[in-house]
Homo-oligomer: A and B are copies of this chain.
């Protein structure tokens, strides 16, 4: 303590500025490549050296410079989530984003968000990412059956995972909700409540999720001995009175219908409003992403879709695809369970 300032007994204290491999190199007396190889656990570095270098690295808090790694390796260490305009309006998207990002904390990858607008060409952001190497992989949030983005990514052999299946699902990683099981569950539940004539609101365009839902619902309806009608979904972007009127009209056209199945929580609320204005007592069964509906109309029954689980799975799936490009793509389905069921 007399030789003031000289006897700093920690190495860390001697370091100024952000530590790099050079810092460790100087501190250890070993060459920079040796340090680099030691930290990446290369076989031609002795255990003794590795230990020494790792200790120094830990002590001075060395973190590899991403720009350096990127420039050298050509990797970006970024995974990009493609966000369509409709994704933003879905209440569970934030949870999806958060859970992906949280899962990626265990990896060197960072999550970045690439949005596009309704007027934009959905291919543009994808092409930019692939061509300019803005990310090492992408996650597509809402896919269509014959999604051109999926076709493009497959052709370019660019790693990706999707939230939602496609026609090409056997060839790529995905996570999806098991909508067939949802349709089955909804019909059986409504039938058990004594409902006999169930209608299902499905979008006019041939969406895969709707196909699955109808499939499951139809089979269950046959099994339970109740009738199932598929009706055109209403435009949930329309004004509220228009939505109400549209729902009421469908109910008027189908006077025997005593239950409605909808694909989303918002649609369920719209359906409830429409049924009320038509003066009809119908049960409504919807798939919801957040549990906001539980406060609502007692006739609304829901199954919760777990966005956090989807996000965690997608993150793992896309990292797996990066680590093993030739391996079988990871694929997952959320099968609805009683635990997801909320009475309003």
Q: Name the contact of A91 in the complex, choosing from B76, B270, B290, B295 (C-beta under 8 A).
A: B290
Could you say which of A109-117, A217-225, A332-340 contacts chain B? A109-117
- One digit per residue, 1 when the CB lies within 8 angstroms of any chain B CB and 0 when it does not, for chain A 170-184 equals 000000000000000
- One digit per residue, 1 when the CB lies within 8 angstroms of any chain B CB and 0 when it does not, for chain A 89-110 equals 1110111011101100100001
List residues of chain B with CB within 8 A of the CB of A93. Answer: 93-94, 97
Could you say which of A49-57, A64-72, A152-160, A249-257 contacts chain B? A64-72
A258 to B272 CA separation, bound complex (whole angstroms): 26
In terms of DSSP, what is the predominant structure of the interface of chain A? helix
A151 within 8 A of B: no
Which of A63, A78, A110, A266 is packed against the most chain B CB atoms within 10 Å? A110
Q: Name the contact of A292 in the complex, choosing from B63, B88, B115, B292 (C-beta under 8 A).
A: B292
Q: A67-B70, A97-B94, A296-B269 are in contact. Are A102 and B117 (CB under 8 A)?
A: yes
CB of B95 within 8 A of CB of A88, answer: yes
List residues of chain B with CB within 8 A of the CB of A90. Answer: 94
Closest beta carbon of chain B to A50's beta carbon, Å = 23
List residues of chain B with CB within 8 A of the CB of A71. Answer: 65, 67-68, 70-71
A10 within 8 A of B: no
CB of B88 within 8 A of CB of A91, answer: no
Taking CB atoms and an 8 Å cut-off, the chain A residues in 267-296 that contact chain B are: 269-270, 272-273, 290, 292, 294-296
List residues of chain B with CB within 8 A of the CB of A101. Answer: 83, 113-115
A132 within 8 A of B: yes
A100 to B62 CA separation, bound complex (whole angstroms): 32
CB of A97 within 8 A of CB of B110, answer: no
How many residues does chain A have at the interface if contact means C-beta atoms less than 8 Å apart? 50
CB of A89 within 8 A of CB of B95, answer: yes
Instruction: Give A93's nearest chain B residue, CB to CB.
Output: B94
Q: A67-B70, A68-B71 are in contact. Are A94 and B88 (CB under 8 A)?
A: yes
Chain A contact residues, CB within 8 Å of chain B: 18, 63, 65-68, 70-71, 76, 78, 83, 85, 87-91, 93-95, 97-99, 101-102, 105, 110-115, 117, 132-134, 240, 243, 265-266, 269-270, 272-273, 290, 292, 294-297
What are 23 of the A-B contact pairs (CB < 8 Å)? A66-B134, A67-B70, A67-B76, A71-B71, A78-B112, A83-B98, A83-B101, A85-B98, A87-B94, A88-B94, A88-B95, A89-B94, A89-B95, A91-B292, A93-B97, A98-B113, A102-B117, A110-B134, A112-B113, A266-B292, A266-B295, A270-B295, A272-B295
